[in-house]
């Protein structure tokens, strides 16, 4: 019963989304992204999110290497990285990641190295959660499309 | 149809614009087809915004580098209607791009950033951005950006009109043009006078508006300089386009071009004067021992002291600086203009001409927003100038909203810096850094090598932080939820002569999650030992100890530390009293015994370069307001440093050993640094009236 699968998957998808919203992992900006997705760019959301992952991992690496440096003192640079991180995270609706970044930025503004380290760890943690959940989301979506597609071939 | 290209014309004032999209006329579809140039180095945002703009039916061109954008604009002057740019970009500052575009192409520019700090937004405003969007940008925000284009064109149109009629006093040609405005010829006029290419069809049909159909003039740097020189020569009040045109003597330049440019220039100046009045212009309190390196600077100083009328100043400066065009052509003369405004501030009393000079010296640094590093010799110089400066009336940070706040440092900035931090960077010598506009924190700058100021600091955090250069350790102590000692944080109790013995220590104790974001800031602690540290364990009596703590837990830790800390700390915390004179409440803690360095756990504040003489600048009248009877001049026999401090510091608490030698000073400052709910109100500070407390009686 492929149709049932599609329905079930859609229910799963919605449930997951609701969970993510409820947990604050995502916010309504993500919905804006979804609305931007249309026939001309059917994979818009996953493309953007993949770009985001790519950039974020770069940023996280940079941040970590900055902080690991014993003689680190360039908080400005860190602030710039963080600004970008905040911008991109908020643009895709990654609310929790964004909030940790903001706290991170605050610590950085105070040259609070230990605070920054803790914030970085928290950030990496939150980022992992986000990435896992979004992957899950995309998987379900893909399966749902497949299931729906098989069920209604003319709608492909 | 009015023209062969089939444009339609809407006569309503608000929408009488015509759009060309991709070479085809898109009639009545405005704002669809609006040509947007999108600049952002973040690929995620770039992609999202592009999609959003396309969803608004705009014609989007994206690029991820400012340089690319600028060259695109230059190549295709009339190819875009509006520019949206990020603020923080690696190759060029967004504001710089903004300036370029404003001056060269006069397109409306929207800035955007994840940074919503008031400073940055203010910068956007003063630089002429027509809007400032905070990321995440919603599509609804983008749907309306066309209004900026319309508005700009309307204003230019009006300016053009006004400047033409006013300056010439000859209304005849104007009237005929006016008559045309109501006709369909208007659209041709307007467009051709604005930004359309010469070879566009509609131009050919506007015979009666031939005077308006000038090719769009590019106000290059050189041209603008000539313009400014002419304006200054005539005097800003008397500068009329006709005369300016004559003075400039540029072939092909018309009075109308000059008129519209003059209008813009006037707006720019007005904006600059607004900047100089702005609270973000902090008073520069300096003790700048350096000598003037610029000739023109003397003018400024003279003007500041009222010996030169501001206008002459502008003229002289323009003349002087116009010749020696510094790094960036355009900004230079503009800086001069700004000086006019900044020096009209009557409240400034700078007895020291030198101070200005140092600012100018720091110009290069300022331009890049790089914290200035002060050479050690400046520290020495500080002593000398301390005396003189001490008499200065410093309308300091406490008057965050005073329009008199003026920072001559401003003039150093090629880019108008509404960022207070920038100003502070150039704080001469060891003057405290003032952050503006609101939370203002002070840094003593003397030994700063890694002075960093934040751009767009979030609302609560106002601590520019830096690491003082101290041969002892300038360390931040970050005991997280417990008192701990960072390695290397040895107390400079070992006497290191003079200033270098002072090492700020920042200790804080906080919970990352809850406090990082709005953390109060740390209490810098410094040990002012000089040669006092040989007064080892004695029965030190605390006099006038002020306290500051952020929460009971801190106070507990303080108390806990009291027993076993081996160090004497002078801590100075700053409150960002938003409307109050925040007093620095500091707590001295010490114990008998050796003075190794246990750091007191307090909320981390900022690093203060613990130079006594450059810490607090308080308005002299505030000294009276401050906690009473805090000056013990007779106790200070130690060094010039102390006396210098005395003159400058509003109030402080002093700690003496039994021999009557001062051991440490706790300074109170009067400017808001951090606002936090957990900071003691200043009133409490005044309650402290210690007189020879023994260590056991330290109130916590």
pLDDT in tens, B154-164: 887 777 777 65
Q: Which two tokens stand for residue A24?
A: 């604050």
The CATH number of the structural domain formed by B221-273 is: 1.10.10.60
Q: What is the pLDDT of residue A34?
A: 92
Tokens at residue B686, please? 């005044």
β-strand partners of B84? B38, B110
Whole-angstrom distance between the N-terminal and C-terminal Cα of chain A? 18
Q: What is the mean pLDDT of residues B34-45?
A: 93
Measured between CB atoms, which of A32, A83, A110 is closest to B88? A83
What would the DSSP string read from start to end of chain A?
A: -HHHHHHHHHHHHHHHHHHHHHHTSB-HHHHHHHHH-BTTBTTHHHHHHHHHHHHHHHHHHHHHHHHHSTT---HHHHHHHHHHHHHHHHHHTBHHHHHHHHHHHHHHHTT-HHHHHHHHHHHHHHHHHHHHHHHHHHHHHHHHHHHHHHHSGGG-
- The phi-psi region of residue B456 (left if phi > 0; otherwise alpha if psi is between -120 and 50; otherwise beta) is left
| pLDDT band at B593; cut points 50, 70, 90 | very low
Average pLDDT on B462-487 reads 39
- Percentage of chain B with pLDDT > 70? 27
Residue B25: partners with Cβ closer than 8 Å, 6 or more residues away: B5, B6, B7, B18, B19
Across the interface, whether the CB atoms of B44 and A88 are under 8 A apart is answered yes
DSSP-derived secondary structure letter, B56: T
- Rounded to a whole number, what is the distance in Å from the CA of B520 to chain A's nearest CA? 9
Hey, are the CB atoms on A73 and B455 less than 8 Å from each other?
A: no
| pLDDT score for A126 | 95
The pLDDT value recorded for residue A10 is 87
Residue A119 in contact with partner chain B when CB distance is under 8 A: yes
Question: Mean pLDDT: which of B268-272, B411-415, B430-434, B686-690 is highest?
Answer: B268-272
Which conformational region is residue B526 in: left (phi greater than 0), alpha (psi within -120 to 50 degrees), or beta?
Answer: beta
Q: Which residue has the higher pLDDT, B651 or B404?
A: B651
The tokens of B28 are what? 């009545």
Residues B615, B572: contact at Cβ < 8 Å? yes
Neighbouring residues of B89: CB distance < 8 A, sequence distance ≥ 6: B39, B40, B41, B65, B66, B97
What 3-state class would DSSP assign to B39? Answer: strand
A115 to chain B: which residues are within 8 Å by CB? Answer: 478, 480, 510, 512, 516, 519, 604
Contact B191, B200 (CB under 8 A): yes
* Alpha-helix runs per DSSP H in B490-614: 517-518, 552-564
Measure in Å the smallest separation between the Cα of B49 and chain A Cα atoms.
9
Helices (H), B426-551: 517-518
Q: Output the pLDDT for position B457.
A: 38
Whether residue B598 contacts residue B483, with contact meaning beta carbons closer than 8 Å, is answered with yes
Tell me whether B143 touches chain A (CB under 8 Å).
no
User: Taking a contact as any Cβ pair under 8 Å apart, which residues of chain B between 486 and 505 contact chain A?
Assistant: none
The predicted structure's pLDDT at residue B663: 60
Q: Both tokens of residue B652?
A: 């402080």
Query: What's the pLDDT at A76?
Result: 87
Q: Which two tokens stand for residue B528?
A: 């002012």
Do A110 and B135 make contact, defined as CB atoms within 8 angstroms?
Answer: no
Is residue B399 scored above 90 in pLDDT? Answer: no
| B23-32, B168-177, B399-408, B671-680: least confidently modelled range | B399-408
Check whether B321 has a pLDDT greater than 60.
no
Q: Do B606 and A111 touch (CB under 8 A)?
A: yes
- The better pLDDT of the pair B90, B638 is held by B90
Most confident of B187-191, B228-232, B438-442, B644-648: B228-232
Mean pLDDT of B670-680: 43
Looking at chain B, which residues constitute the CATH 3.40.50.2300 domain(s)?
A: 35-159
Cβ contact A52–B452 (<8 Å): no
Contact of A4 with chain B, judged by CB distance below 8 Å, is answered with: no
Q: Which residues, in sequence order, are CB contacts of B587 under 8 Å at separation 6+?
A: B545, B546, B547, B548, B549, B558, B569, B571, B600, B602, B666, B698
- Give the closest-approach CA distance of A41 to chain B in angstroms: 9
Measured between beta carbons, the chain B residues lying within 8 angstroms of A33 are 48
Tell me which residue in B455, B516, B605 faces A107 most closely, judged by beta carbons.
B516
Contacts of B517 in chain A (CB under 8 A): 102-103, 106
Across residues B127-140, what is the average pLDDT?
A: 91
pTM of the full structure: 0.42
Q: Do A29 and B136 touch (CB under 8 A)?
A: yes
B596: tokens are 């190794």
The pLDDT assigned to B668 comes to 52
- Please give the pLDDT value at position B164: 57
Which domains are present in chain A? 2-30+44-147 (1.20.120.160)
**A73 vs B190 pLDDT, higher one:** A73
In eight-state DSSP terms, residue B608 is -
Q: B638 pLDDT exceeds 60?
A: no
Going by the DSSP 8-state scheme, the letter that residue B471 receives in this structure is S
Which residues from chain B sit within 8 angstroms of residue A51, using beta carbons? 43-44, 47
Residue B333 CB partners (closer than 8 Å, separation 6+): B224, B225, B228, B229, B232, B318, B321, B322
pLDDT, tens digit only, all 156 positions of chain A: 556 778 888 899 999 999 999 999 999 999 999 999 988 888 999 999 999 999 999 999 999 998 888 888 888 889 899 999 999 999 999 999 999 999 999 999 998 889 999 999 999 999 999 999 999 999 998 888 888 776 555 555
State the pLDDT confidence band at B35, using cuts at 50, 70 and 90. Answer: very high
The domain covering B35-159 belongs, at the CATH homologous superfamily level, to Response regulator (3.40.50.2300)
- Tell me which chain A residue has its CA closest to the CA of residue B452: A76
Contact A105 B138 (CB under 8 A): no
CB burial of residue B465 (10 Å; 0-12, 13-18, 19+): buried
The nearest CA of chain B is from the CA of A150 a distance in Å of 30
- What are the C-alpha distances in Å from B76 to residues B105, B197, B509? 10, 10, 56
pLDDT on residue A92: 93
CA distance to partner chain A, nearest, from residue B363 (Å): 19
In whole numbers, what is the pLDDT of chain B averaged over residues?
A: 54
A34 contact B CB<8A: no
Closest to B128 in 3D by CA, of B157, B90, B155: B155
Which chain A residues contact residue B478 at CB under 8 A? Answer: 112-115
- Interface contact A36-B55, CB threshold 8 A: yes
| Token pair listed for A73 | 């003192």
pLDDT at B28: 66
Q: Is B221 helix (H, G, I), strand (E, B) or coil?
A: helix
Q: Which two tokens stand for residue B205?
A: 């049909």
Could you say which of A76, A90, A113 has the minimum Cβ distance to residue B114?
A: A90
Q: What is the pLDDT of residue B163?
A: 62
Min distance A25 CA to chain B CA atoms (Å): 15
Predicted pLDDT of residue A2: 54
Query: Are A88 and B461 inside 8 Å of each other by CB?
Result: no
- Distance (Å, whole) CA A29 – CA A95: 9
Between B142 and B204, the more confident residue is B142
Task: Give me the mean pLDDT over the B91-96 stretch.
Answer: 88
Say if B88 is an interface residue toward chain A (CB within 8 Å). yes
In the predicted structure, residue B178 carries a pLDDT above the cut 60? no
For chain A, the residue count is 156
Answer whether B458 sits within 8 Å of A105, measured CB to CB. yes
CA distances from A121 to A73, A84, A92, A115, B111 (A): 19, 18, 21, 10, 32
The answer to whether the CB atoms of A75 and B452 lie below 8 A apart is yes
pLDDT exceeds 50 at position B212: no
Residue in chain B lying closest to A107 (CA): B516
* Chain A residues within 8 A of B115 when measuring between CB atoms: 83, 86
Of B150, B115, B108, whose CA–CA distance to B131 is shortest?
B108
The answer to whether residues B523 and B571 touch, using CB atoms and an 8 Å cutoff, is yes
B525-540 pLDDT, tens per residue? 444 444 444 444 444 4
In chain B, residues under CATH classification 1.10.10.60 are: 221-273
Distance CA B74, CA B97 (A): 12
- Over range B18-35, report the average pLDDT: 60
> Does residue A31 sit at the B interface (CB-CB below 8 Å)?
no
Asked if residues A103 and A81 have their Cβ atoms less than 8 Å apart, the reply is no
Q: What is residue B117's predicted lDDT score, i.e. its pLDDT?
A: 87
């Amino acid at each position: 019963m492929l149709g049932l699968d599609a329905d079930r998957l859609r229910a799963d998808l919605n449930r997951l989304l609701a969970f993510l919203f409820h947990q604050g992992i995502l916010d309504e900006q993500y919905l804006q992204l979804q609305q931007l997705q249309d026939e001309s760019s059917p994979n818009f959301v996953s493309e953007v999110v993949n770009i985001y992952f790519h950039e974020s991992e770069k940023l996280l690496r940079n941040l970590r290497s900055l902080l690991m440096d014993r003689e680190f003192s360039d908080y400005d640079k860190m602030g710039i990285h963080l600004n970008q991180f905040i911008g991109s995270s908020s643009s895709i609706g990654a609310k929790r990641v964004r909030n940790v970044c903001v706290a991170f930025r605050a610590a950085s503004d105070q040259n609070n190295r230990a605070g920054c380290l803790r914030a970085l760890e928290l950030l990496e943690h939150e980022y992992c959660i986000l990435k896992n959940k979004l992957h899950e989301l995309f998987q379900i979506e893909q399966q749902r499309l497949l299931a729906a597609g098989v069920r209604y071939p003319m709608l492909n | 149809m009015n023209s062969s290209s089939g444009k339609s014309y809407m006569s309503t004032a608000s929408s009488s614009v015509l759009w060309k999209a991709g070479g085809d006329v898109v009639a009545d579809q405005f704002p669809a087809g609006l040509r947007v140039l999108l600049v952002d180095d973040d690929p995620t945002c770039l992609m999202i915004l592009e999609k959003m703009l396309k969803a608004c039916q705009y014609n989007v061109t994206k690029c991820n580098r400012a340089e690319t954008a600028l060259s695109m604009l230059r190549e295709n002057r009339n190819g875009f209607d509006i520019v949206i740019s990020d603020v923080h970009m690696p190759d060029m500052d967004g504001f710089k791009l903004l300036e370029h575009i404003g001056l060269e192409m006069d397109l409306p520019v929207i800035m955007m950033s994840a940074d919503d700090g008031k400073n940055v937004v203010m910068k956007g405003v003063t630089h002429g951005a027509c809007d400032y969007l905070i990321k995440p940008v919603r599509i609804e925000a983008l749907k309306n950006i066309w209004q900026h284009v319309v508005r700009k064109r309307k204003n230019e149109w009006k300016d053009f009109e006004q400047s033409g009629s006013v300056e010439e006093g000859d209304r005849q040609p104007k009237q005929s043009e006016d008559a045309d405005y109501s006709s369909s010829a208007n659209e041709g006029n307007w467009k051709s006078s604005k930004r359309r290419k010469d070879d566009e069809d509609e131009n050919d049909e506007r015979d009666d508006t031939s005077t308006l159909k000038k090719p769009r003039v590019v106000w290059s740097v050189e041209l603008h300089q000539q313009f400014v020189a002419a304006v200054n020569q005539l005097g800003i009040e008397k500068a009329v386009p006709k005369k300016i045109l004559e003075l400039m003597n540029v072939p092909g330049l018309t009075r109308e071009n000059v008129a519209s440019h003059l209008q813009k220039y006037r707006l720019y100046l007005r904006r600059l004067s607004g900047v100089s009045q702005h609270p973000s212009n902090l008073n520069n309190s300096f003790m700048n021992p350096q000598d003037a390196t610029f000739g023109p600077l003397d003018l400024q100083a003279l003007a500041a002291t009222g010996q030169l009328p501001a206008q002459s100043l502008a003229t002289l400066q323009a003349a002087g600086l116009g010749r020696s065009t510094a790094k960036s052509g355009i900004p230079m003369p503009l800086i001069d203009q700004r000086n006019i405004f900044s020096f009209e501030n009557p409240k400034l009393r700078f007895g020291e001409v030198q101070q200005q000079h140092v600012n100018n010296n720091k110009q290069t640094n300022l331009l890049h927003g790089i914290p200035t590093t002060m050479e050690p010799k400046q520290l020495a110089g500080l002593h000398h100038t301390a005396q003189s400066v001490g008499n200065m009336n410093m309308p300091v940070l406490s008057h965050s909203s005073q329009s008199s706040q003026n920072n001559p440092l401003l003039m150093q900035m090629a880019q108008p810096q509404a960022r207070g931090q920038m100003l502070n960077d150039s704080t001469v010598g060891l003057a405290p850094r003032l952050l503006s506009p609101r939370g203002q924190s002070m840094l003593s700058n003397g030994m700063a090598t890694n002075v960093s100021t934040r751009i767009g600091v979030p609302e609560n955090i106002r601590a520019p932080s830096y690491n003082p250069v101290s041969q002892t350790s300038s360390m931040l102590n970050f005991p997280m939820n417990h008192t701990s000692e960072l390695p290397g944080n040895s107390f400079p109790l070992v006497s290191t002569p003079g200033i270098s013995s002072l090492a700020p220590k920042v200790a804080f104790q906080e919970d990352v999650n809850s406090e990082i974001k709005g953390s109060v800031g740390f209490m810098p602690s410094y040990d002012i030992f000089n040669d006092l540290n040989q007064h080892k364990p004695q029965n030190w009596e605390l006099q006038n100890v002020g306290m500051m703590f952020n929460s009971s837990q801190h106070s507990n830790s303080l108390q806990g530390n009291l027993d076993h800390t081996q160090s004497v700390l002078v801590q100075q915390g700053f409150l960002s009293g938003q409307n109050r004179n925040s007093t620095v409440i500091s707590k001295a803690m010490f114990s008998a015994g050796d003075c190794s360095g246990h750091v007191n756990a307090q909320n981390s504040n900022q690093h203060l370069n613990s130079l006594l003489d450059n810490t607090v600048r308080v308005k002299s009248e505030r000294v009276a307001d401050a906690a009473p009877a805090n000056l013990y001049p007779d106790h200070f026999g130690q060094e010039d440093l102390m006396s210098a401090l005395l003159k400058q510091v509003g109030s402080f608490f002093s700690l003496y050993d039994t021999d009557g030698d001062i051991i440490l000073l706790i300074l109170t400052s009067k400017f808001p640094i951090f606002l936090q709910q957990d900071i003691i109100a200043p009133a409490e500070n005044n309650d402290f009236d210690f007189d020879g407390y023994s260590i056991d009686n330290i109130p916590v």
